[in-house]
Amino acid sequence: MGDNSQDHPYYPLGAGISGYSPNELSTVELLIKAGGGCAVLLGLTFTLVSYTRPKLRVNDRIAVLWFVLSGTMHCFFEGYFMINHQKMASAQDLFGQLWKEYALSDSRYMTSDTLVLCMETMTVLIWGPLCLWVAVLITKHSSLRHPMQLLVCLSHLYGDSLYYATSLFDHYVNDISYCRPEGYYFWLYYFCMNFIWIVVPFYYLLQSIRTLSTAVRFQQESISLRKST
């Protein structure tokens, strides 16, 4: 395809996306490579944690895997978008092709949309590194684990909610759709892939709230007991 800004598969069809070049890899090949990369990352992380912290509980090991996966994706995959957002349409490296495939469900990633770019930049520079730090705090049984875990999880819930809300507002109120009409782009790419970052952070948010609440209650009871003796 040429440089015509409308010569692309993204919606709305009139979106200004110049220099579009179709992906060289098929969707299946992209998903296999992405899944394989995640599997290698999780496998190496699990092996390292099992070797260095053999007494770490299974639940905590799973938490480490989640925060390492999130932090790595935020810093590197989303970092790729932050750096290359102006030339995404012609990219043919793995990350570029993955973003072009995902953008079929949200073309804002092809147009350097202000909200998406600012949100992803904050994710790369702040929330990604904090995810990795939380993983380290978990392995060290640090008292900072739950305050930081709560903060990071809340940021994911806020970011995803804002991401959904702005897109759906444009769709239903402004009659602007950034997603292709095929259902699987909306439900599999746009909805499911992002909903994971609501469900899992919500679980760990509740975990941190319960833990911190228990700690505060224990401290209050200890203070009351000392005062009464």
Single-letter amino acid code for the residue at 177: S
Instruction: Please report the pLDDT score of residue 1 as a whole number.
Output: 38
Q: What percent of the chain has pLDDT over 90?
A: 88
The reported pTM is 0.91
Given a cut of 60, is residue 79 above it in pLDDT? yes
Q: Quote the mean pLDDT of the chain.
A: 93
Instruction: Please report the pLDDT score of residue 222 as a whole number.
Output: 80
Q: Which of 153, 156, 143, 130 lies closest to 212 in space, CA to CA?
A: 143
Task: Return d(Cα 169, Cα 176) in angstroms, integer.
Answer: 9
Given a cut of 90, is residue 51 above it in pLDDT? yes
Give mean pLDDT, residues 84-88: 93
Instruction: Please report the pLDDT score of residue 98 as a whole number.
Output: 98
Given a cut of 60, is residue 5 above it in pLDDT? no
Lowest mean pLDDT among 96-105, 146-155, 217-226: 217-226
If you compute the radius of gyration of the chain from its CA atoms, what whole number of angstroms results?
Answer: 21
Task: Return d(Cα 219, Cα 229) in angstroms, integer.
Answer: 16
* 124-177: pLDDT as tens digits: 999 999 999 999 999 999 999 999 999 999 999 999 999 999 999 999 999 999
Domain residue spans of the chain: 27-228
The residue written with tokens 């709560």 in the block is 150
**CA-to-CA dists, residue 165 to 170, 172, 184, 198, angstroms:** 9, 10, 19, 13
Task: Return d(Cα 78, Cα 94) in angstroms, integer.
Answer: 13
Instruction: Please report the pLDDT score of residue 136 as a whole number.
Output: 97
CB neighbours of residue 134 within 10 Å: 29
Instruction: Please report the pLDDT score of residue 3 as a whole number.
Output: 44
Q: Which of 137, 151, 159, 168 lies closest to 74 in space, CA to CA?
A: 159
Instruction: Please report the pLDDT score of residue 6 as a whole number.
Output: 64
Phi and psi of 97, rounded to 5°?
Answer: -70, -35
Instruction: Please report the pLDDT score of residue 188 as a whole number.
Output: 95
Instruction: Please report the pLDDT score of residue 13 as a whole number.
Output: 87
